[in-house]
């Protein structure tokens, strides 16, 4: 779907969406369309007593007279003073999805400045377009026999605004972010026979075109570095592991260390010899969603030339059972020197992250380090698919992350850490074991990671429940969500740029 901006007015083709507010009050553009069509919009609203102009409410007028558009879609937006970015994005996403099911190929959305909103006219237009872009995401690569009439019909979205040039300028960075979310979603949706450590590393390399410095560390290099925890996970797979290091230098003014993002990139998690049950094992292609989010946010920062120094480190491995696979009970030595008794080969993500976190801390001395991982099923038990679990050793960083998540509707709920939980992973024969007791599985996993971050301000986001959605949402269609890209991009924009 192509997105463009043009001057206000009733277009000559396609569908036209207009906005109404609480109480059914029409926007300026809606009034104009109403006047041109002999009052068709007001009549439609009067005929739909349940339409109150609230968010998520719609009324349609098919084949209105006096104009050449196929239909009017009147979209409710609630109270003008409460209109924010996410509300406009939801509106754009929902509208585009409605119209793409009708067969219309062109949708125009008429916008005006909203009295009482903190967003300017061009920003309003840009956020609507941004939401439409995110909401109409679809992974179609492997469909070859789908009938034309089942395919989404929309090819062009035109946002109408008084100042198209300013809207285009406001949209440019949002488009960079949206394309990065889409990039992450594509990587997560791709199956394990297409995305494996080498091919995922190759995808990360494409960021070089945007000015990101990308290094790919081979298995031999990882062995030299002493990454025994990560290598132990990889040893059962025919695919060699890689660690990819991405650096974005957006400023020379900052004397502080970079902000660092670290991602779990298990391209397929069979569980290893502690094999997972067959039911739903296919879902474990998304066990690299943490690394996809890290690659995605690095891409977004580069796309909008963020004035920040950031590094992204992803540990790419496949967790498979084989005669070469690590055994339950094996003891491995991590890069930090700490030894780990691997009691369950399915608790592999923490082993990969242990070495990636240590490496990142030692090499870059980051001012803050945030890791993302589809780490535990237990976080889904705790929080469902609505919020990701956050664990942090730094209240300030945790507060910044919470705020960024709220602003982007990628919500985080802080979970506890503590010595009692930490003792759960003490081992009888090594420095630690890779699983805790029966309860608090997400917390003992976080305690494990904490043993590899030293004093670095750090947060761990357990995105096992939010990396994939089983429900279609306005800007997040069913499937891979790209969770974390928007959140971390905003964390940087609000707290780390020019600072």
Catalytic amino acids?
276, 350
Any bridge partners for residue 160, and if so which?
6, 110
Using the contact rule CB under 6 A, the part of the chain among 156-164, 180-188, 211-219, 347-355 near ligand BES is 347-355
Residues 267-286 that bind Mn ion (CB under 5 A): 269
Using the contact rule CB under 6 A, the part of the chain among 58-66, 191-199, 369-377, 414-422 near ligand BES is 369-377
Total residues interacting with Zn ion, rule: CB under 5 A: 4
Contact between 258 and ligand BES (CB under 6 A)?
no
Count CB neighbours of 179 within 10 A: 15
Using the contact rule CB under 6 A, the part of the chain among 175-183, 211-219, 344-352, 469-477 near ligand BES is 344-352
Give min distance, CB of 349 to Mn ion, in A: 6
Using the contact rule CB under 5 A, the part of the chain among 59-67, 208-216, 345-353, 389-397 near Zn ion is 345-353
136 contact, one of Mn ion, Zn ion, ligand BES, none, CB 5-8 Å limit per kind: none
Per the rule left: phi > 0, alpha: psi between -120 and 50, beta: everything else, 95 is alpha
The pattern of x and - marking residues 192 through 221 that bind Mn ion according to CB under 5 A reads ------------------------------
Q: How many whole angstroms separate alpha carbon 156 and alpha carbon 371?
A: 37
Contacts 24+ apart (CB under 8 A), 435-442: 435/343, 435/344, 435/347, 440/378, 441/376, 441/377, 441/378, 442/375, 442/376, 442/378, 442/379, 442/382, 442/389, 442/391, 442/415
Q: How many whole angstroms separate alpha carbon 132 and alpha carbon 20?
A: 18
Contact between 287 and Zn ion (CB under 5 A)?
yes
Q: How many whole angstroms separate alpha carbon 137 and alpha carbon 56?
A: 19
Please, where are the H alpha helices in 342-426?
349-364, 378-383, 395-408, 419-423
Q: How far apart are the first and last CA of the chain?
A: 37
Q: Looking at 123, 190, 346, 424, which residue binds ligand BES (CB under 6 A)?
A: 346
Count CB neighbours of 282 within 10 A: 11
Contact between 349 and Zn ion (CB under 5 A)?
yes
**Dihedral (Cα; 433, 379, 203, 229), 10-degree rounding:** 0
Residue with smaller CB distance to Zn ion, 63 or 191 = 191
The pattern of x and - marking residues 46 through 85 that bind ligand BES according to CB under 6 A reads ----------------------------------------
- How many helices (H) and strands (E) are present in the chain, helices listed first? 15, 20
Residue with smaller CB distance to Zn ion, 250 or 349 = 349
Q: Looking at 34, 346, 410, 462, which residue binds Mn ion (CB under 5 A)?
A: 346
> Between 85-100 and 121-135, two packed helices, what is the crossing angle to 10 degrees?
50
* Residue 49, SS3 per DSSP: coil
Contact between 462 and Zn ion (CB under 5 A)?
no
The pattern of x and - marking residues 285 through 324 that bind ligand BES according to CB under 6 A reads --x-------------------------------------
Q: Looking at 269, 341, 355, 408, which residue binds Zn ion (CB under 5 A)?
A: 269
* Residue 267, SS3 per DSSP: strand
Contact between 374 and ligand BES (CB under 6 A)?
yes
Residues 422-481 that bind ligand BES (CB under 6 A): 435, 441, 464
Q: Looking at 269, 318, 341, 424, which residue binds ligand BES (CB under 6 A)?
A: 269
Helix (H) or strand (E) holding 261: strand 259-269
Using the contact rule CB under 6 A, the part of the chain among 17-25, 242-250, 346-354, 475-483 near ligand BES is 346-354
Using the contact rule CB under 6 A, the part of the chain among 147-155, 188-196, 341-349, 388-396 near ligand BES is 341-349
Structure tokens that stand for 100 in this block: 């793409």
Residue with smaller CB distance to ligand BES, 98 or 185 = 185
Give min distance, CB of 267 to Zn ion, in A: 10
Q: How many whole angstroms separate alpha carbon 266 and alpha carbon 285?
A: 8
Count CB neighbours of 137 within 10 A: 22
Residues 62-91 that bind Mn ion (CB under 5 A): none
Give min distance, CB of 321 to Mn ion, in A: 12
Helix (H) or strand (E) holding 165: helix 164-189
Count CB neighbours of 269 within 10 A: 26
Q: Looking at 161, 376, 392, 402, which residue binds ligand BES (CB under 6 A)?
A: 376
Give min distance, CB of 442 to ligand BES, in A: 8
Question: Under 8 Å CB-to-CB from 143, ≥6 apart: which residues?
Answer: none
- Residue labelled with tokens 């179609």: 140
* Residue 468, SS3 per DSSP: strand
Residue with smaller CB distance to ligand BES, 176 or 263 = 263
Q: Looking at 199, 339, 344, 473, which residue binds ligand BES (CB under 6 A)?
A: 344
> Which residues contact Mn ion (rule: CB under 5 A)?
269, 346, 348
Query: What residue ranges bind ligand BES (CB under 6 A)?
Result: 269, 287, 344, 346-349, 374-378, 435, 441, 464
Residues that bind Zn ion (CB under 5 A): 266, 269, 287, 349
């Amino acid at each position: 779907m192509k997105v463009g901006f043009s001057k206000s007015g009733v277009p000559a083709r396609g569908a036209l969406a207009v906005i109404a507010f609480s109480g059914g009050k029409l926007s300026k553009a809606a009034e104009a369309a109403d006047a041109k069509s002999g009052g068709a919009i007001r009549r439609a609203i009067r005929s739909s007593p349940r339409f109150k102009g609230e968010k998520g409410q719609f009324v349609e007028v098919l084949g209105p007279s006096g104009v050449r558009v196929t239909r009017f879609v009147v979209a409710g937006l609630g109270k003008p003073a409460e209109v924010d970015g996410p509300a406009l994005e939801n509106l754009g996403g929902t509208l585009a999805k409605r119209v793409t099911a009708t067969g219309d190929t062109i949708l125009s959305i008429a916008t005006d400045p909203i009295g009482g909103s903190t967003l300017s006219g061009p920003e309003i237009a840009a956020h609507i377009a941004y939401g439409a872009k995110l909401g109409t995401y679809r992974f179609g690569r492997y469909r070859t026999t789908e009938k034309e009439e089942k395919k989404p019909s929309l090819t062009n979205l035109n946002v109408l605004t008084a100042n198209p040039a300013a809207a285009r300028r406001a949209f440019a960075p949002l488009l960079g972010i949206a394309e990065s979310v889409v990039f992450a979603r594509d990587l997560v949706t791709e199956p394990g026979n297409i995305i494996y450590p080498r091919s995922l590393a190759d995808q990360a390399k494409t960021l070089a075109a945007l000015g990101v410095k990308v290094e790919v560390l081979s298995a031999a290099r990882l062995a030299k570095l002493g990454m025994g925890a990560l290598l132990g996970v990889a040893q059962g797979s025919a695919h060699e592991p890689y660690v990819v290091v991405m650096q974005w230098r957006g400023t020379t003014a900052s004397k502080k260390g970079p902000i660092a993002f670290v991602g779990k990139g298990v391209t397929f998690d069979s569980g290893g010899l502690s094999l997972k049950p067959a039911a739903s094992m296919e879902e474990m292609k998304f066990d690299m969603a943490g690394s996809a989010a890290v690659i995605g946010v690095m891409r977004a920062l580069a796309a909008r030339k963020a004035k920040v120094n950031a590094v992204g480190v992803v540990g790419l491995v496949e967790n498979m059972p084989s005669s070469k696979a690590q055994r339950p009970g094996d003891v491995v030595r991590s890069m930090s020197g700490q030894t780990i008794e691997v009691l369950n080969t399915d608790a592999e993500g923490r082993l990969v992250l242990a070495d990636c976190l240590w490496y990142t801390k030692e090499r870059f001395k980051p001012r803050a380090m945030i890791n993302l991982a589809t780490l535990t099923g237990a976080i889904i038990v705790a929080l469902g698919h609505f919020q990701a679990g956050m664990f942090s050793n730094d209240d300030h960083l945790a507060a910044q992350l919470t705020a960024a998540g709220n602003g982007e509707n990628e919500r985080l709920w802080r979970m506890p850490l503590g010595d009692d939980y930490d003792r759960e992973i003490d081992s009888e024969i090594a420095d630690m074991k890779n699983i805790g007791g029966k309860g608090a599985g997400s917390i003992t996993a976080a305690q494990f990671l904490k043993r590899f971050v030293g004093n670095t301000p750090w947060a761990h986001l357990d995105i096992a429940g939010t990396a994939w959605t089983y429900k279609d949402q306005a800007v997040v269609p069913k499937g891979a969500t790209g969770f974390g890209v928007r959140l971390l991009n905003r964390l940087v924009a609000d707290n780390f740029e020019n600072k």
